[in-house]
Amino acid sequence: MLARAQRPVSFSGAGLSAESGVSTFRDAQTGMWAKYDPVALASPQGFAADPAMVLEWYAHRRRGIAQAEPNAGHNALAGMDWTHITQNVDDLLHRAGAKRVLQLHGSIKIDRCHHECGFEQDVELANPPPMGSCPACSAPLRPGVVWFGEQLPIDIWSEAEAACRECDVLVVVGTSAVVYPAAGLITIARESGAKVIIINTQPSDASALADIELFGTSGTVLPKLLAAKRSD
Ligand code: OAD
C-alpha cells in the first residue's frame, strides 16, 4: 500500500514521543492527565487562576523534552519527504530532520503573547524562562501551545486539512484520536479516498477508520514499515 502511495502523509500524537521518555496524556497511570488536571494546567482559565503553577508545569515539561532524543520512529518518519502533521508540541520530529512538520497544537519551544498581538520568541527548553510580559503590549507571555478551548492556528489547520484531502495514504501514529478537530483529519483523509494505516500499542478511536492497524510501538513498527517505502 505504501510502496504504491504517491502522496502519503503522517498524522501523529503523543505515542510517537513516548519512547523518547515524553509522557503521553491518556495512557493509564503514566499519562499526564492521570496525574494532572488538564483544565487547571492547559487552559486559559487555569492560566488566569494560577499562572505561576501553569508556567512551572510547562517549565517541567520543557526540561523533560530538552533531555529527550528523537527515537527510531521520529527518525523513520523524518526520512520520508512527506507532510508530517502532528498534535505534539515537542520538537523531536524537527530534531530528527523532518522538513515539513505541521504542529496543529502549537509548539512548546516558543512563548507567545497571551493577547495574540503577534509577539513570540524562542525558548531554551533546558533553561525555560520565568513568567514574563509581552515586550510589545505588556500582556502576559505563555507557551505557544493550543490550550483547551483555544483556536488551532488557522493557517496550519488549513494546510493540514488540504494535505489530508489530497493524500492517498495516511499513516496515523500514536494517537488516541479523541481530541477534535485534530482527530477529524483521519475521517477527512478517508472520505477523500485515502487508505488509513494505524500504528498504536492498543485500539483507539481511530481503529474503526483503519484499513490496516499495526499493533506495536512506533519506534519498532515505523522503521520496518517505512523501510519498504525507502526501497523505492
Ligand atoms: P494520548 O495520550 O491521548 O494518546 C496516546 C496514544 O499513543 C494512545 O492511543 C496510546 O495507546 C498510544 N501509544 C502510547 N505509547 C505508544 C508507543 N510507544 N507507540 C505507539 N503508540 C503509543 O495523546 P494524543 O492522542 O496525542 O492536546 O492526545 C491528543 C491531544 O490531547 C494532545 O495533543 C493534547 C492532549 O490534551 C493539546 O495539547 C491541545
CA dist 148 and 38 (Å) reads 8
107-131 pLDDT, tens digit per residue, is: 999 999 999 999 999 999 999 999 9
Q: Is the CB of 217 under 6 A from ligand 1?
A: yes
Q: How does pLDDT run along the chain (232 residues), one tens digit per residue?
A: 999 999 999 999 999 999 999 999 998 878 888 888 888 999 999 999 999 999 999 999 999 999 999 999 999 999 999 999 999 999 999 999 999 999 999 999 999 999 999 999 999 999 999 999 999 999 999 999 999 999 999 999 999 999 999 999 999 999 999 999 999 999 999 999 999 999 999 999 999 999 999 999 999 999 999 997 765 4
Q: How many domains does the chain have?
A: 2
Q: Is residue 105 annotated as part of the catalytic site, yes or no?
A: yes
Dihedral through CA 40, CA 44, CA 48, CA 50, nearest 10?
30
Q: Are 25 and 33 in contact (CB under 8 A)?
A: yes
Ligand 1, atom 6: nearest CA belongs to which residue? 175
Q: Do 90 and 31 share a domain, yes or no?
A: no
Q: Would you give the distance in Å from CA 101 to the centre of its chain?
A: 9
Q: Do 77 and 126 share a domain, yes or no?
A: no
The overall pTM is greater than 0.95? yes
Q: Do 92 and 185 share a domain, yes or no?
A: yes
Which residues 6+ apart lie within 8 Å of 75 measured at CB?
Answer: 96, 97, 223
Residue 10 — φ and ψ, nearest 5°?
-110, 150
Residue that is last in its domain, among 82, 115, 145: 145
Compute CA distances 61 → 3, 28, 43, 125, 205, whole Å.
Answer: 37, 19, 16, 9, 26
Ligand 1, atom 25: nearest CA belongs to which residue? 175
C-alpha cell at 199: 500504528
Q: Do 130 and 46 share a domain, yes or no?
A: yes
Q: Do 85 and 120 share a domain, yes or no?
A: no
CA dist 155 and 161 (Å) reads 10
Q: Are 172 and 11 in contact (CB under 8 A)?
A: yes
Residue that is last in its domain, among 95, 129, 145: 145
> Of 74, 84, 94, 105, which is the active-site residue?
105
Q: Residue 217's domain spans which residues?
A: 1-20+70-105+152-232
Q: Do 222 and 161 share a domain, yes or no?
A: yes
